[in-house]
Amino acid sequence: MVHTSNLYHNPWTGELSKLMIEKTKEHGAMHDASRVFVCNSGSEANEAAIKFARKVGKVVGGEHKTDFVSFRNSFHGRTMGSLSATPNPKYQKPFAPMLPGFKYGVYNEIEGLDKLVDENTCGVIVEPIQGEGGVYEASTEFLMALRKRCNDVGAVLIYDEIQVSDANRCPLSPSTSLFHMLLQLDDFKREFKTNYRLCSSS
């Protein structure tokens, strides 16, 4: 797939966006989705997702609902927002200070989620499979607990799957049982319908 600037019209971007929406709805998610935000890179897609979460947070919880949560050993990009969500001194130190409002949790640790994700949290970004410095998979229990906690406090949950290319290995691929388990939760369906945008990188 080749992406050109949105300044120039091409027939393929629209067709691809339409197909993405159709396939997403076929799998039971985002029933009223109507748009795709097409980006130049995964970092830009995450940057947009962070902005969407901040906007939703202010609408849902007011001016103080702006905090963001990500997890240790993650990698979300090199732009300032996505870099602030990447808690690795090797990447952050040359460009410090990072954007305020970002907190970092321990991947796959359920016990601390209630304290980590609180009423001031507008968004949580997580990789179902981490690809930085190895391959680390999120447990089903962790992702389910994270989903529930985000619903409890009204935070947007963002799945960053840019490191994942094999759909058969990704626990959130529409072909897996976890994806369908999550769709059974009424709160999960409502979150998909109201708080999510399709962000695609080429």
Of the ranges 3-12, 146-155, 190-199, which one carries the lowest mean pLDDT score? 190-199
Q: Where are the beta strands (DSSP E) in the chain?
A: 36-39, 67-71, 102-105, 121-126, 129-130, 136-137, 156-159, 198-201
The model's confidence at residue 73, banded by pLDDT at 50, 70 and 90, is very high
* Distance between CA atoms of residues 73 and 138, nearest Å: 12
Could you give the domains of the chain?
Answer: 11-201 (3.40.640.10)
Distance CA 178, CA 23 (A): 18
For the chain, give the mean pLDDT.
81
CA distance 8 to 4: 7
In terms of pTM, does the model score above 0.85?
A: no
User: % helix / strand / coil in the chain, to the nearest 5?
Assistant: 40, 15, 45
Q: What is the pLDDT of residue 38?
A: 80
pLDDT for res 84: 97
pLDDT at 178: 47
pLDDT at 197 over 50: no
Please give the structure tokens belonging to residue 56: 């939703």
Tell me: the pLDDT tens digits for 104-150?
A: 999 999 999 999 999 999 999 999 999 887 789 999 999 999 999 99
- 91: pLDDT strictly greater than 60: yes
The tokens for 194 are 């109201």
Asked if 115 and 121 touch (Cβ cutoff 8 Å), the reply is no
Residue 19 tokens read as 């197909």
Averaged over 91-101, what is the pLDDT?
Answer: 97
Q: Which two tokens stand for residue 10?
A: 């091409």
d(CA 142, CA 144): 5
